[in-house]
Amino acid sequence: MNQLDALRQWTTVVADTGDFHQLAQFKPQDATTNPSLILKAVQKSEYRPLLDEALSRHAGRPLDEIVDRLLVRFGCEILALVPGRVSTEVDARLSFDTTATVARALRLVELYKAEGVDVEKRLLIKIAATWEGIEAARELEARGIHTNLTLLFSFAQAVACGAAGVKLISPFVGRIYDWYKKSAGSSWDEAASSGVNDPGVKSVRRIFDYYKRHGIATEVMGASFRNVGQIGALAGCDLLTISPELLAELAASEAPLALALDAAAARDRADIPKVTLDEPAFRFALNEDAMATEKLAEGVRGFTADAIKLDKLMGAA
């Protein structure tokens, strides 16, 4: 049994890509996208016709609507290849505006419905895990629209998402690892900071154990991996979203892979207290976590930059 098949025994495997031609090879249950992945995809010759079609069919409409229609077109192509859900992201420029995030999410939902998609079962609206984004997710979940809270780096963000009834969160393992490695500089010990000691892995394990201990239904989906060791150290997580390159590595390896996260054991732990955070407490806790504060801001800026690039590409086409 290869490592990818072994992982599937305990964890739902999700493909992290806008390149839907790669999906059939790895047979993931779900797929996630983000502005950076879509931007990368539409610059490939095989996907350029999707961009051209969106522009020609919807000429004269506002650019932000045409972009959403392109995202939905990619999502529908992905849904034709996976049996589960696709995550489609709200424009990162709305990350600090609850009302605008809800409005954009509702438009994406209507566009998917117009394509015949069962949005309750097959769509996750992806939103940055700012306080405003989490409040938008709370409202959307109350309407029966499921959400995936992304750019999640801190325990405080996870606590707030669980309290808001978010369907799924995406803690960014690799970006957490990157920050600690850069911060340590020449003193970084790769061997001592790998596997279960990887700071990104430790963050996800803490969130996973907290949710299971307190019966929080929010699904945990580790994301943003740098190597297969990080993936193996989270075997047993509810879901893991993995790039095609790392999916290929897992499929090519027959090295042993063991269960690493145990939901049943976490439920029995008495040393995990329940945490409650209102807005001031959330903002203070996030501020106290330098890594999470920096990586959240950096992530919003990065997705925004790629959204702007996509706008310019479509405007120039």
Q: Point out the least confidently predicted range of 19-28, 182-191, 292-301.
A: 19-28
32 pairs with which residues across the strands?
16, 87
Model pLDDT, residue 147 = 98
225: confidence class by pLDDT, cuts 50, 70, 90: very high
Q: What are phi and psi of 107, to 5 degrees?
A: -65, -45
Strand, coil or helix: what is 193?
helix
| Residue 126 annotated to the active site | yes
Q: Per the residue annotation, which of 27, 113, 121, 126 is the catalytic one?
A: 126
CATH of region 3-316: 3.20.20.70
**pLDDT at residue 113 is higher than 80:** yes
**pLDDT at residue 308 is higher than 90:** yes
- For β-strands 12-16 and 168-171, DSSP reports them as unpaired
150: confidence class by pLDDT, cuts 50, 70, 90: very high
Model pLDDT, residue 144 = 98
User: pLDDT digit string (tens) for 115-143?
Assistant: 999 999 999 999 999 999 999 999 999 99
Mean pLDDT score, 163-190:
98
Model pLDDT, residue 289 = 98
Model pLDDT, residue 24 = 83
Mean pLDDT score, 259-277:
97
Q: Indicate the angle between helix axes 199-213 and 173-184, nearest 10 degrees.
A: 140
Model pLDDT, residue 317 = 66
Rounded CA separation 60/193 (Å): 53
Going from N- to C-terminal start, the domains of the chain cover 3-316
Model pLDDT, residue 226 = 98
Q: Are 86 and 32 contacting, i.e. CB atoms less than 8 angstroms apart?
A: yes
Rounded CA separation 119/108 (Å): 10
Amino acid at position 245, single letter: E
**pLDDT at residue 240 is higher than 90:** yes
Model pLDDT, residue 34 = 87
What percent of the chain is modeled with pLDDT above 70?
100
**pLDDT at residue 316 is higher than 80:** no
pTM of the entire structure?
A: 0.96
What percent of the chain is modeled with pLDDT above 90?
93
317 pairs with which residues across the strands?
none
Whose CA is closest to 228, among 214, 217, 238, 243?
243
Rounded CA separation 258/261 (Å): 9
CA atoms within 13 A on the CB side of 93: 9
- Compute the C-alpha angle 21/87/15, nearest 5°: 40
- Residue 124 DSSP symbol: E
Model pLDDT, residue 21 = 82
**pLDDT at residue 153 is higher than 90:** yes
